[in-house]
Structure 1
Amino acid sequence: MRNYPTDSPQAMGRLVALTLMADGAIDASELKLLDHTDSIHRLGLNEESFDKVIHELCDDMLTSAHRTLSGHLELDVKSIDLLLAEVQHPLLQKQVLRMMLDVVNADRELSGGEAVLVAEAMKLWEINLHEVADSSVPSLSTRTRRHYEHAHA
């Protein structure tokens, strides 16, 4: 795998790209989410530079990844750790992990590859899930909460 400078937009973008491919295919809902949330630009990349990162990741995976019996390419945990280690600033780690979680949740399915990648990021970066919880999810209104509590009392 090629190396990117520590905390660079490319290093962060590669982790988002790896998350896109962790379930074996890039889903349209995942790309739509990245576009809707302006995630690529928030990483410091434009569409062209993110496409380049994706292509470089694909090239690297063809030479570095293990091919499963089903034909999928998989990275081992050591290789994943090397990619994660290129993002060292705690705030950037949280930003990237939040984007990774958004990608994972976009299609409402959690694959084994996605689970391994997210769990490894949380472990290596020592981030708890509550530290990157999506605060944009609306909370229950007081009326709805009272109704729920009454119905389940």
Structure 2
Amino acid sequence: MRSYPRNSPEAAARIVALVLIADGHVCRSEFEALDQLDAARALGLPTGGLPQAVQALCEDLLMGSYSGGSLITQLDEAALAALMAEVDDPALQANVLALATAAARADQHLAEGEAVVLEAARRYWRLSDAAPGLPVQEPVRLAA
């Protein structure tokens, strides 16, 4: 799996992308929720950058022989920890978690894979002991 510079827009977007694909089905409502929050801009990505982040993550998972079954069950703790370690700025972590949570809830269902990724973010980033179904802060919108 490719690595990104620490706290880069790509590293942050990959965590959001991981939540999007964690249940094996990316819904239009998830992208619409992220668009309403101007997530690409909030993460420092160009317009259209989130679908590209999802594509890059899927390519990495497929190239890394993470094929067969649910993608999230194929991602071991070490790989998940490495992805989370690329985002260590507390403000960025909180923003990524808020965006990822909004995307996970967009279809009115928190799938097991989504909950696993959200809980991993909370655990690795030490943001909250709350259960994945509980509210988190709204994402910060960056000034133009």
- What TM-score do you get using the length of structure 2 for normalisation? 0.83
Q: Which amino acid aligns with 1:7?
A: N
Aligned to 2:108: 108
Per-residue CA deviation, residues 94-146 of structure 1 (Å, 9 max, x unaligned), is 1101111111111111111111101111001001149x72469xxxxxxxxxx
Q: As a proportion of its length, which structure holds more helix?
A: 1
Looking at structure 2, the residues matched to 56 and 66 of structure 1 have their Cα atoms a distance apart, in angstroms, of 14
Select which of 133, 137, 142 maps to 2:136: 133
Within 5 A, what are the aligned runs for 1:1-153? 1-64=1-64, 66-68=66-68, 71-74=69-72, 75-128=75-128, 129=130, 133-134=136-137
For each residue in 1:19-55, what CA deviation from the matched residue of structure 2 results, as whole angstroms up to 9, or x when unmatched?
A: 1111101101101001111111111112343333222
Name the counterpart of 1:139. none
CA contact (8 A) 1:62 1:73 kept: no
Q: Which amino acid counterpart does residue 73 of structure 1 have in structure 2?
A: L
d(CA) in 1 for partners of 2:39, 2:124: 22
5+ residue gaps, structure 2, are 140-144
Give the superposed CA RMSD.
Answer: 2.1
TM-score by length of 1: 0.79
Which structure has more relative contact order (CA 8 Å, sep 6+)? It is: 2
Question: Structure 1 residues 135, 93: CA separation in 2 closer, same or farther (over 3 Å shift)?
Answer: closer
Q: Tell me the number of residue pairs that the alignment of Structure 1 and Structure 2 aligns.
A: 133
Mark the runs of 5 or more structure 1 residues left unpaired by the alignment: 137-153
Distance 1:67 1:43, change over 3 A: same
